[in-house]
Amino acid sequence: HLSVLESYWPLCFRPLSCSIPLSQLKVKRSSSPSPSSTGWLRILFPSCSTSHLKLPSIMSVFAEVPQAVPVAVFKLTSDFREDKDQNKVNLGVGAYRTDDSQPWVLPVVRKVEKIIVEDQTLNHEYLPILGLPEFRSSASKIALGDDSPAIQENRVGGVQCLGGTGALKIGAEFLRRWYNGNNNTSTPVYVSAPTWENHNAVFADAGFKDVRPYKYWDAENRGLDLAGFLGDLESAPEHSIFVLHACAHNPTGTDPTQDEWKQIADVMNRRNLFVFFDSAYQGFASGSLEKDAWAVRYFVSQGFELFCAQSFSKNFGLYNERVGNLTIVAKDNENLTRILSQMEKIVRTTWSNPPSQGARLVAITLNTPELFEEWKDNVKTMADRVLLMRAQLKAKLQDLNTPGTWEHITQQIGMFSFTGLNPKQVEYLKKEKHIYLMASGRINMCGLTSKNIDYVAESIHEAVTKVQ
């Protein structure tokens, strides 16, 4: 506590007639908790009265807060920005980029923004707690289809949320409180191995104490481990919650086929397991809204009650608007009404009311036929560029005779590819070639361009041949 003594020596010790020079004091430096402000005076000078001393507090109430580990994907972007190398490539963050490596504001979004600005009837009043009604209904419709019997039976509802993460969070909070009883902290929640890193954190933060992995990725064959997946479904306790990726699995880019989805649904139905879909890439994965929503719609057709967290960050390019929706498919309208009443309570203490701008952009687009068609064309433009980059990367690696198989690059879909590169190879790419990707080997295909794809392919070849 030398610094403390140095600060208060003139103030505290001279009035007490303590003439010991500070330089002669032997003060032991320690990381142990400090005594009180006057406690260390009593230790050093037991014969001195300290009752009249009132020293100001010298310790922050936040002194014991530990430094958190940075969020990996955002730390990667930060490292990329600080890198001065002219050949650097960012294959990490999950956002679309043009062939010039630039963000793309969808033309239809520009058009709708102008419509909103010029609409003098709009104001900044609070939205309903559950969100903009026309957004919620249209978002659920593109997930389930306009002709969905569940919608026609009035047993589908939506909650506008802050992005897909917000939808997962509100759904998790509700399930912890009300799924299969009043307190479900011990109900197992299964997430795929591997999965998007936030899945584990969101459900744990909501109070679930048993978040487990289920088998998904076959590393040896670089594809879906269907047998392992089905085995975990069979062995899971009844009423367990399973988080399923609706399409474009993150991070592997590997989805079940329609036949495999049917097998998964059969087991989940028989075992009374709850389905929580995460749909972050509808339309962006294949270029088709219908194809990318097939799994969700099939499960609904089989009578499942389920949740579906939807994000409009990727397919609308509205990353910083945080536009999400939680679609709820209930057994009947009475159940839906009660569910939404409790959702309202949870939202009220979380963000109270959602913002309008992003939701209004999506609602106007989805509810205006000509804008809806233009949006689908915009989404297909993004999806097609990703497919082109997949084909070109695979071809270039094969032309280089890069060791291993690279067929999985075009067999996977969506924004990401699980390359199969190991952590040492990833580190080599980062340190030696200035190519930034996740330690798992996941790359964002949107980071590839006609200008850098040769460099990336040659660098991957170098990493694979030099680093084991």
Query: Active-site positions?
Result: 196, 278, 314
314 CB burial (10 A radius; 0-12, 13-18, 19+): buried
Tell me phi and psi for residue 377, to 5 degrees. Answer: -65, -40
Two tokens at 385? 């560029």
CB-CB contact of 95 with 103 (8 Å): yes
d(CA 404, CA 417): 15
Residue type, 346: I
> Token pair 């922050």 is at which residue?
60
Q: How many residues are listed for the chain in this entry?
A: 468
d(CA 350, CA 373): 35
**Taking the CB of residue 423, how many other CB atoms lie within 10 A of it?**
12
Q: How does DSSP assign 371-424, residue by residue?
A: HHHHHHHHHHHHHHHHHHHHHHHHHHHHHTT-SS--THHHHS-SSEEE----HH
> Token pair 């506590």 is at which residue?
1
d(CA 310, CA 165): 9
Q: Which residue in 330, 298, 293 sits closest to 310, CA to CA?
A: 293
**Taking the CB of residue 309, how many other CB atoms lie within 10 A of it?**
29
Residue type, 242: F
Q: Which residue in 104, 105, 106, 97 sits closest to 448, CA to CA?
A: 97
CA atoms within 13 A on the CB side of 113: 10
**Taking the CB of residue 432, how many other CB atoms lie within 10 A of it?**
13
Q: Beta-strand (E) ranges in 280-384?
A: 306-311, 323-329
CB-CB contact of 309 with 326 (8 Å): yes
Helix 369-399 to helix 453-466 angle (10° resolution) is: 40
Distances (CA, A) of 233 to 33, 236, 261, 402, 453: 49, 5, 13, 37, 40
125 CB burial (10 A radius; 0-12, 13-18, 19+): exposed
